Amino acid sequence: MPKSNLKITAPLRGALLECFRATTRLVRPGLRRQLVLHTEDVDVAAPPDVLSDIVRRVLDGAPSFSLESDGKIAFDAPQGFRVRIDLIQVGGGCIDKIYATRPLFGASVASKSDLLRLRAVTVVERESDGEVDDFRWLLAETAREGQVLPELDKEDLEYVTGAGACLGELDRLVLVAVLGANNGAAALRLLGL
């Protein structure tokens, strides 16, 4: 997600993807599809047993992985970059569920609509311009791909409509379309109806 106008260079993108690919190989094959790339950097979300596979393999000396002094896992990519990995437990804390994924290197990548829903939480809780910019970018990407949000629970709807309140009129109309018929009442509220 854009933190500036700079593009991710091909070598850095390669390092990030290689990090995710290598992290996937740390997980038992039967559990790999539960490992989800959560953002375009390397945040991975998974149930506890998948995360424990990763930590155990890193502690056992998995090649190119290390545990840093702050407890984060690092991966030394062949492209010459050190990539830090954030492990996020699904089902507790900041990510209760992921609705839709697609395969990536034997694991999964979260859908843009899921990333949009999760970014709405940080927009509302942090209220920073950078978070709103990320939300706006994800909204545009979600709409461009023709994705709509699944039927959201009350809490998720409050976050998405709260983030929508930070948008301009045109972006709010795009959000109404992305909310779709699955969340019609919330879409109407955003329109002031």
Q: What is the pLDDT of residue 9?
A: 60
Q: What is the pLDDT of residue 94?
A: 67
Report percent pLDDT > 70 for the chain. 88
Q: What is the pLDDT of residue 10?
A: 66
CA separation for the pair 108, 24 (Å, rounded): 9
Pseudo-torsion of CA 183, 188, 190, 193, nearest 10°?
A: -160
Work out the pLDDT band at 80, boundaries 50, 70, 90.
confident
Q: What is the pLDDT of residue 5?
A: 44
Q: What would the mean pLDDT of 80-102 be, rounded to a whole number?
A: 79
Q: What would the mean pLDDT of 134-151 be, rounded to a whole number?
A: 88
Whether 32 has a pLDDT exceeding 90, the answer reads: no
Could you report the per-residue pLDDT of 33-49, keeping only the tens digit for each? 777 665 545 677 888 88
Could you report the per-residue pLDDT of 56-70, keeping only the tens digit for each? 999 999 999 998 888
Work out the pLDDT band at 138, boundaries 50, 70, 90.
confident
Closest Cα to residue 47, out of 109, 110, 98? 98
Helix or strand or coil: residue 81? coil
Most confident region among 15-24, 79-88, 140-149 by mean pLDDT: 140-149
Lowest mean pLDDT among 20-34, 48-62, 162-176: 20-34
Average pLDDT over the chain reads: 82
Contacts of 78 (CB under 8 A, 6+ apart): 15, 18, 64
Burial (CB count <10 Å: 0-12, 13-18, 19+), residue 185: exposed
